[in-house]
Structure 1
């Protein structure tokens, strides 16, 4: 069933500040805001590392990540800079490794201290949504019975200020790598201000793609089975998630890595899909190979017509790109939005098939 193209024209577009320019050499934040605004985006996802980097230049000294007085002052200045460029701040991200720490642990105390601090930052920059990524802390360090209660408590903390929690499945997460995992958790949390941050990379890169194989596609089952399962998953997504429980869709593709990655975590503990995510995520239609259109179309079939937000980490096909014309890149992202919606409406991607 084709989508009605006329319903897609009012979808608002955002760009994640952390993802404009090479991952290894991001340009100054104000240059990125200029490029994002010039390309016609109406909002940004504000990245915490960008608050730190902008804060150092704005205040003239490095900022302690736990100095929330300084962080709030910087966030307020970033809001002013956004307002000059007619940009809203749609979301603060990425809030990570929050849920599931054992009761009484130092890590749990730190997680809730950070939550209170980030809420202060949200108030300072005029943002009403917090992105929380499904934790990648090793399961043996977690009390999984705390995951839902922790997120419920965080949702309640945010609700006191009229804020929302956008929960995202990171495809290298230790406990919730797929959209079905986070959707089940969101249902169990059962709060009106928690919803999903869906992502074309996290969905396609977790359920269909694999950076540790020669093909770049999952090889734990046959290719036919991979395709069958993926079509079924997207069909389930389109039929099971209420549109109002999707807060945004993040957009990116992935390059096939030059050599298959090790299946082991690296020295920092990051799993292969996390390493893939860091440097090998271009715009759709620009050298990647994931079935991005299929994911976007499935999300649109829920009736969702909210934020499409571009979050790419384009280090080039070798992951080592160091320079980028960010004005041209932001405009390319705006052009991709037009093509992506046209593909979704016109079945220019891979036509879903019946089993």
Structure 2
């Protein structure tokens, strides 16, 4: 399908927006009026620039507070409209978005609104322009899409149709199935935006928290499917008001918008990931000295060295970690994911604008393909062939059974992009977004996982000003975290993060727990079904620390209730 985006969805000048939108592969744009008014380019120059870039101008918007007004106001509104039509002729734009009236003086009379919209459509037809009428979720009298359709039907003019906006429909909880009652030829335009579920004024929600499809909680696949069944044949167009997008790189944002539409279109056709990952093959970290010492203390053994690269394999149970000597400070560089079809996973990533990274390899090296996540972490698609690059050796015996999850701190302007990447490219399911108190601000966190929990990722966004540290950590699963803690306290007493006694005073008031937790520095959480989570943290080396976790009773969370304690202790140690 044709793909379009509103210029308000990205940052920059109008000229910069058009260039980035074209480079991302869009077919057309919605010109937001403020972008044109602030541009030194004339409408003719904008038209020519768009044409040179291969972009059609699909819509000009918005035209506000037109219908259901008294005669004096109507005369002024028609004068405004005539000016807009002349501008649109110069732009080469044939469709004008008219929003439902939000003015307190608007009159609640559908016949009056329909008559005035018919008059507007007649004037528009003289300029070769059509009118797409949209019900704003906060419209004074018309705030439901089916109400807007009733008014359009009453007006009965070929140049008047409806614009359907997913945010205005879904934010009000309206059922999109009603779209199928609208003739497809009367659906003039379809605007798409996702959003997180927030309990707030709908106008503020709309103006600041929209996001691209797949980054929020709305069922856009269902809505678009209803529009297609109704016979809609126009573009899928993104209209997103988002404070972060307005400040982020225009090129990255435009590319992310295109990725969201490609993923949405694949979902419409029933195309999901060829095979979701089945587990962690490895996590790769930079640094060998400090990190190697930490792994040795945790019971890992160095089981192999790569023949052509400065990379060591450390293993215990089913957990495999690679240490890369090329990095300076310890940091998480890459994640390897097991799956039945690595080539298919790489191909899907490329279809979603995440190209396979160029890599140097010797002829005898295993062929591993990787893509870059938004924060730069490399994601490898693996089968067992990569293990042949290392001298075969048995992993160390011990209580650690594998990698439970990996947590990555995202740059502030990449958080939503990362959520879309892991959802669309890897097929991970997003969980509820949380905000965790930090001594210097807030930590926003969102977990994503496969349906069976074999791969779990946690995306964190630290909003803590000057104290913001991009920590990353690897959580290792074990069967007996208390035994691990006892050994570490005995053999490596400075290795574990010290937990304040006040935490255990409160914990023991809330739960009947083993007193050994206090002695050993183990944290605890319990879910509503009785599942339990025991975990401990190591000290941080560079940007990296390790978490040892034990899940029982089907516990599926990450101990978020304990995150403020961990953050406070880490900040104190860092300062």
User: TM-score normalized by structure 2?
Assistant: 0.46
Match of 1:326 among 238, 250, 258: 250
Distance 1:328 1:109 in 2: 44
Change (3 A) 1:28 1:146: same
2:2 counterpart of 1:12: yes
Aligned structure 1 segments of 4 or more residues deviating by more than 4 angstroms: none
Change (3 A) 1:307 1:313: same
2:162 counterpart of 1:196: yes
Match of 2:204 among 250, 263, 275: 275
Unaligned runs of 5+ in 2: 273-422, 424-575
Distance 1:45 1:179 in 2: 20
Distance 1:102 1:76 in 2: 35
Secondary structure of the residue aligned to 2:83 is helix
Check conservation: 1:158, 1:165, Cα contact below 8 A: yes
2:176 counterpart of 1:234: yes
Aligned residue number for residue 93 of structure 1:
61
Distance 1:126 1:235 in 2: 34
Q: Report the RMSD for the aligned CA atoms in angstroms.
A: 2.1
Change (3 A) 1:141 1:297: closer
Within 5 Å, give how 1:1-80 maps onto structure 2: 11-21=1-11, 27-55=12-40, 58=41, 74-80=42-48
Check conservation: 2:121, 2:131, Cα contact below 8 A: yes
Report how many aligned residue pairs link the two structures.
273
Question: Offset of 1:141 from its aligned partner?
Answer: 4.2
Change (3 A) 1:136 1:301: same
Distance 1:192 1:52 in 2: 30
Question: Offset of 1:184 from its aligned partner?
Answer: 0.4
Question: Offset of 1:110 from its aligned partner?
Answer: 2.3
Check conservation: 2:10, 2:246, Cα contact below 8 A: no
Change (3 A) 1:80 1:347: closer
Secondary structure of the residue aligned to 1:113 is helix
Distance 1:16 1:175 in 2: 26
Question: Offset of 1:124 from its aligned partner?
Answer: 0.7
Check conservation: 1:102, 1:143, Cα contact below 8 A: no
Within 5 Å, give how 1:93-132 maps onto structure 2: 93-103=61-71, 105=72, 107-132=73-98
Distance 1:151 1:314 in 2: 30
User: Residue by residue, what CA displacement relative to the aligned partner does 1:295-345 show, whole Å, maximum 9, x if unpaired?
Assistant: 1111112122311111111224xxxx7621111111111111121122223
Secondary structure of the residue aligned to 1:284 is coil
Secondary structure of the residue aligned to 2:206 is helix
Question: Offset of 1:109 from its aligned partner?
Answer: 2.7
Unaligned runs of 5+ in 1: 1-10, 22-26, 59-73, 209-229, 262-271, 350-355
Distance 2:8 2:129 in 1: 22
Check conservation: 1:252, 1:282, Cα contact below 8 A: yes
2:223 counterpart of 1:295: yes
Distance 1:293 1:141 in 2: 34
Distance 1:324 1:177 in 2: 32
Secondary structure of the residue aligned to 1:342 is helix
More strand by share: 2
More helix by share: 1
